[in-house]
Amino acid sequence: MSILTPMTDQPAAAAALDPSMLTFDEALAELQRTVAELEAGGQPLERTIELYERGVGLHERCSTLLADAELRVQQLVARAGGALAAVDVRPEDAIEDDGGR
């Protein structure tokens, strides 16, 4: 049994409804489309609210993915000989660096 969406009747479209399943690029593109539709106006109130809620979810997904990427960059450590290596750290395990303050 597959999940079908009313807009496309395709199972793959169901995954696109969940922002947590999108890559950063997919979420950003969807957020841009959502914002453009909101800016165009002319939608009924319920559709406008749905678009706004979708936009908030997509924004949160993009923010989470950017924070994770920033964390990976911050967790670079110097190895012998000056080479850099990425340390695989989950956000909840990260050690905050206050920049020496």
Q: Domain coordinates of the chain in residue numbers?
A: 11-91
pTM equals 0.62
- pLDDT score at 73: 75
For 22, the token pair is 């999108």
Higher confidence at residue 90 or residue 72? 72
- Residue 72: CB atoms within 10 Å: 15
Instruction: State how far the Cα of 35 lies from the Cα of 48, in Å rounded to an integer.
Output: 10
Is the distance from CB of 12 to CB of 33 less than 8 angstroms? no
pLDDT band at 93 (very low <50, low <70, confident <90, very high): low
CA distance to 65, 76, 91, 99, per residue, from 87 (Å): 17, 6, 12, 19
53: nearest Cα among 31, 28, 68: 31
User: Considering the domain 11-91 in this protein, what is its CATH number?
Assistant: 1.10.287
Mean pLDDT over the full length of the chain: 77
57: nearest Cα among 84, 22, 91: 22
17: helix, strand or coil: coil
